[in-house]
Amino acid sequence: MGDTFDDKYEDETPVHEVYVDDFYIGKYEVTQGQWTKIMGSNPAHFKCGDNYPVETVSWNDAMEFINQLNAKTGMKYRLPSEAKWEYAARSGGKKEKWAGTSDGARLDDYAWHSGNSDGKTHPVGEKLPNGLGLFDMSGNVWEWVDDVYDEDAYSKHSHDNPIYTGDGENRVIRGGCWSRHPVYIRCYNRRFNSAGYRSYNIGFRLEYVK
């Protein structure tokens, strides 16, 4: 886990091995159609169709969606941890720079980013999936995860099922988005915003707890 390509972003180090229990994660980012069905309204800036990723949702909003989804379905969903998210993005823990490839010449086959998105989101699943069959783990919209952000979180990680829950109001976002340079959509790139922050380039995907 972390910067296995020596890109020299301090919060992506140290590179370390972690163990995560088996888990299920969404094949796609949560869509506007799914959000509207549960919440009754669509907060997205790019209201282009039900199969577009929902965005302009905060971490707090995502948690409210999950609470209502769990109540209505009797199932148990949650946001994935950083460790689980990165394991999934890297096609099961492989040494991949972007989700599905480490070859910059092939990146456009796998991800929407600032160089090919035409300044907007796109329907989920239009690009190639990674090795686990997951779509848009790099690009399209940033994805909230469960962890509190700390620049030194990796130095504090446990080996098994790490999740950083320390003090702080900022939550981690992963995966980059349609408006960012490819350096920001790397599988191991870490960014953050406050739990109440909303932006038209941030959404999320779900983990299912069996």
CB under 8 Å to 82, separation ≥6 — which residues?
145, 146, 147, 153, 162, 163, 164, 172, 174, 190
Six-digit token string for 54: 């929902």
The predicted-structure confidence for 175-194, as pLDDT tens digits, reads as follows 999 999 999 999 999 999 99
The predicted-structure confidence for 140-172, as pLDDT tens digits, reads as follows 999 999 999 999 999 999 999 999 999 999 999
The pTM assigned to this predicted structure is 0.97
The predicted-structure confidence for 54-102, as pLDDT tens digits, reads as follows 999 999 999 999 999 999 999 999 999 999 999 999 999 999 999 999 9
The predicted-structure confidence for 3-33, as pLDDT tens digits, reads as follows 999 998 999 999 999 999 999 999 999 999 9
Q: Residue 78's pLDDT is what? A: 99
The predicted-structure confidence for 92-143, as pLDDT tens digits, reads as follows 999 999 999 999 999 999 999 999 999 999 999 999 999 999 999 999 999 9
How crowded is the C-beta side of 205, counted as CA atoms within 13 Å?
28
**Structural contact between residues 43 and 61, judged by C-beta atoms closer than 8 angstroms:** yes
Q: Residue 195's pLDDT is what? A: 98
Q: Residue 139's pLDDT is what? A: 99
Q: Nearest CA to 112 among 49, 175, 173?
A: 175
The predicted-structure confidence for 35-51, as pLDDT tens digits, reads as follows 999 999 999 999 999 99
Domains and CATH numbers, the chain: 24-157+167-208 (3.90.1580.10)
| Neighbour count for residue 135 (Cβ, 10 Å) | 23
Q: Residue 94's pLDDT is what? A: 96
- pLDDT averaged over every residue in the chain: 98
Q: Residue 68's pLDDT is what? A: 99
